[in-house]
């Protein structure tokens, strides 16, 4: 179970999970140091659960999960991925993303964690969460504040989207059964999921109507039911 950027394993608390689950803290979150680079983090995670046969990932966690499928293609039988991204297509796009991430890193280091979280939560990406109860949104807010500014800066510098290679060609040979979960209001990731379905032979798209990017927070019951079905196959 791989959480998203600024998240934690505690963010899976509303999901009904199988009995045996490994939910590591990603590099740069809580007290876990950031890895040296993207592939170092992938291999660190692979070593934590060498016998795993299923993956669940959300956002950053889904990107790392895709990389695990590339690096260890025979290990995983099924993956359930929420808002997966296979990486930017060109080095020019990655360079532009690194510039954007550098602004976030500067805000973290100069403005501090609270200023960064305030800016992060103001993004249109989270607009659908305005309909959630204040207590639910508050829980996610406190989760974000449980990290350190330097840790999140390290995460962006090592595993941010600008540091991730384009995995499309490698994923075309994947034989893992992959279920891609996307909120119906998350237009960018709907497009990416459709692209992944065209690339990966055993990928299926599942759209959750009237939901946004963070389905783990917005639709935990759906994720739980789907996860249970997926993990039992």
- Two tokens at 141? 């807010």
Question: What CA–CA distances, in Å, run from 222 to 56, 75, 181, 190?
Answer: 14, 26, 10, 17
pLDDT at 22 over 70: yes
Each residue's pLDDT tens digit, 83-122: 999 999 999 999 999 999 999 999 999 999 999 999 999 9
In the chain the domains, ranked by start, together with CATH numbers, are 9-232 (3.40.50.1820)
Looking at the whole model, is its pTM more than 0.85? yes
pLDDT at 232 over 90: no
């Amino acid at each position: 179970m791989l959480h998203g950027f600024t998240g934690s394993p505690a963010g899976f608390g509303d999901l009904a999970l199988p009995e045996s689950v490994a939910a590591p803290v990603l590099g740069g979150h809580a007290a876990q140091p950031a890895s040296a680079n993207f592939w170092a983090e992938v291999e660190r995670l692979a070593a934590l659960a060498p016998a795993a046969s299923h993956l669940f990932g959300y956002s950053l966690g889904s990107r790392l999960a895709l990389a695990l499928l590339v690096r260890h293609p025979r290990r995983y039988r099924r993956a359930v991925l929420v808002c997966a991204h296979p990486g930017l297509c060109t080095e020019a796009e990655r360079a532009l993303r690194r510039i954007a991430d550098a602004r976030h890193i500067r805000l973290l280091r100069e403005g501090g964690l609270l200023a960064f979280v305030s800016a992060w939560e103001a993004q249109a990406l989270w607009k659908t969460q305005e309909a959630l109860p204040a207590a639910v949104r508050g829980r996610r807010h406190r989760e974000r504040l449980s990290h350190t500014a330097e840790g999140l800066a390290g995460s962006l510098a090592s595993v941010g989207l600008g540091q991730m290679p384009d995995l499309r060609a490698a994923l075309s040979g994947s034989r893992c059964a992959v279920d891609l979960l996307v909120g119906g209001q998350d237009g960018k990731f709907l497009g990416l999921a459709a692209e992944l379905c065209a690339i990966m032979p055993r990928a299926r798209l599942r759209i959750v109507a009237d939901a946004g990017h963070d389905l783990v927070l917005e639709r935990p019951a759906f994720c739980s039911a789907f996860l249970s079905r997926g993990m039992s196959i």
